[in-house]
Amino acid sequence: MIAKSLGIMLGLAACGVFAGSAVARTMDQPWNIAVTSEAFDAQVAQVRAEMQPKGRYDAIGAADRAMLDADFARISELLRSKESGKPFIDRDQLELANAQERVNAILTRNDGDRLICKMEQRTGTNFKQKVCMTARQREEITRKAQEGYQRELMKGGATQERGN
Task: Encode pLDDT of 56-89 as tens digits.
Answer: 888 888 999 999 999 999 999 999 988 888 877 8
The contacts of residue 75 (CB under 8 Å, 6+ apart) are 17, 18, 40, 96, 99, 100, 103
Report the C-alpha gap between 104 and 113 in whole angstroms: 15
- Amino acid identity of residue 29, one-letter, is Q
> Distances in Å between the alpha carbon of 119 and those of 103, 112, 127, 147?
30, 20, 10, 25
For the chain, what is the mean pLDDT?
Answer: 77
pLDDT, residue 98, reads 87
pTM above 0.75, yes or no: no
Task: Encode pLDDT of 8-57 as tens digits.
Answer: 433 443 334 433 334 444 445 555 566 788 999 999 999 999 999 988 88
Task: Give the length of the chain.
Answer: 164
Report the C-alpha gap between 28 and 70 in whole angstroms: 31
